[in-house]
Every structure is written in structure tokens, then in C-alpha cells.
Amino acid sequence: MPELPEVETIRRDLLPLLRGRTIAEAWVSPNAPRLIQLLPPDEFCRQIAGRRVEDIERRGKYLLFRLDGGLLWGVHLRMTGRLLHDANSCPETPYLRASFRLDDGARLCFVDLRKFGTMWLVDDEALVTGRLGPEPLSEDFTPAYLHSVLKRRSAPVKGVLLDQGAIAGIGNIYADEALFRAGINPKRAANSIAKQRAARLHGGIREALELALGDRGSSFRDYLDPSGREGGHHLKVRVFRRTAEPCYVCGTEIRRVKVAGRSTHYCPKCQR
């Protein structure tokens, strides 16, 4: 499940490989009817062919390929999507949903077991990322902003962290990790979190994301970088998928519960 650190790793890896390259030809599997948004797949392939990649950006969990002529190619990997570069990391797989041949002979393959991934080809970026909240690693994500967004929500705090309109890029892994670092129970009502604790959560979010980014993301099940390699951070998480294992701080068994419809892992002693 690629979240901000994984998507950012993909962006950094792909940038030197794709910048300045032209997409010579595109193919979309007829077995992936929901992949291309807003356009028929054949129209998407026709319009993207011949375009040069000028830059690659990221907003939340969205990859944004800036193409010539002001076109934007947006990609969301959802649960199991992978972008693999070159034949070496594009093994024969029944889960190949789209592929892009480049003018240097390389191939970019979109592999996605569960078919939740989505792509856009638009003039207007707002059609892709219009509803996203601030980037958690940018300057406009401040402790004061976090406190203000928590204040007006009565849902469990974890639900707010997962809300892409509140903060962009946090998913199930890093929501749990950030809440552990801040010592906050995931079920706590967001609007019951005082300014001081919100500031601690702000720090926890940044730490969790930056540490994972330093390890090139987490590979719990499906995530691979564009070369087909795993990230390293799943070996270092404090709570995520550590059910019944001892907390590294106090030794208490990590618990798993359902919060906001998602599996949630926390230390009942460190996170009251």
C-alpha cells in the first residue's frame, strides 16, 4: 500500500529515468476497465503518445507527470499498483494493466493485482488533486493547522489522519506510526486533542514519514520501487502489524482494533 514515502521514492527514482523522454506508445489492458478516468482507454493512449515528460511531481499519494503542451498524467497506485521501469523489472505477469514504451527503448509497466489503480490525462490539475489537504512535509502544514482541523471533527483522530482532504499522503501504516510517536490513542475524538498534543502529533507525523522516506518506504506486501526492489522501513515500524508483540518502549502487547473501518495497531499503555 504505497503512501507518501513510497510514492515519493518512486518519483525520485523515475525522475532521472523519464525526464526528457518521450512516450512513444501506450497500451492499456482491456481487462482493466476502470484504470483510465474521464477518457476512453484508446483515447488516453492516442493522446499520451508522442508526449515528452518534462517533470514528475507528487501530491499526497498521487504521481503527477508533467507532459509537454501543458498536459498532466496523473497516477494513483491505490493498494497494489506498481510502476516498474525497463524490461528487467517487468516480469511476465497476468497483472500487467498498462505499459508505456519510451523513445530510449525502455518500458514503463503498470502492474496492479487488484485493479484499484487509476490514471488521468488532463489539462486541469484540479481534476486530479483538487480536494487534497496540505502536504505534511511542507511549510504550510503547521501545528496550528493540525490543531484547527482536529478541533472541528468529532470522529476518531485516526480517521482524520486518513482523510486526504485534511492532510495529503497518510495511509494506514503511517497513521498508526504517527499516533504511537505522539502517544495518542487512535480512537480518541479528534476535537478532544489539546493544542499541546496536536503539536506532538504534528511532530509524530513528520517523524514517521521522514524516517520511512529515509528507508525508501515500507514493503509489507505489495510495494516495490521502479527497479523491483523492496523498501526497508517495514523492518523498523513501532506498531503497524506488530499485533501481540511487545511494545519497544514499555513491553506491553501491541493491540489490533478496528478504527475508521481500518485495522489499527497501538500500545494500550503508551497511547491512552
Annotated active-site positions, please? 2-3, 61, 262
| Spatial separation of the C-alpha atoms in residues 269 and 140, rounded to whole Å | 33
Give a three-class secondary structure readout of 224-241.
CCCCCCCCCHHHCCCCCC
Q: Is 155 an interacting residue with respect to DNA (CB under 7 A)?
A: yes
Residues with Cβ within 8 Å of residue 242, at least 6 apart in sequence? 254, 265
* Segment interacting with DNA, rule: CB under 7 A, options 67-75, 140-148, 171-179, 224-232: 171-179
| Spatial separation of the C-alpha atoms in residues 251 and 193, rounded to whole Å | 26
Please state the closest distance from residue 104 (CB atom) to DNA, in A: 31
Q: x/- site string to DNA, residues 88 to 107, per CB under 7 A?
A: --------------------
Q: Is 145 an interacting residue with respect to DNA (CB under 7 A)?
A: no
* Segment interacting with DNA, rule: CB under 7 A, options 103-111, 201-209, 210-218, 253-261: 253-261
Please state the closest distance from residue 49 (CB atom) to DNA, in A: 26
Nearer to DNA among residue 85 and residue 242 (C-beta): 242
Q: x/- site string to DNA, residues 50 to 69, per CB under 7 A?
A: ----------xx--------
| Spatial separation of the C-alpha atoms in residues 168 and 174, rounded to whole Å | 12
Please state the closest distance from residue 65 (CB atom) to DNA, in A: 17
Q: Is 188 an interacting residue with respect to DNA (CB under 7 A)?
A: no
Closest to 51 in 3D by CA, of 34, 41, 66: 66
Q: Is 34 an interacting residue with respect to DNA (CB under 7 A)?
A: yes
Residue linked to cell 524516517: 211
| Spatial separation of the C-alpha atoms in residues 30 and 62, rounded to whole Å | 23
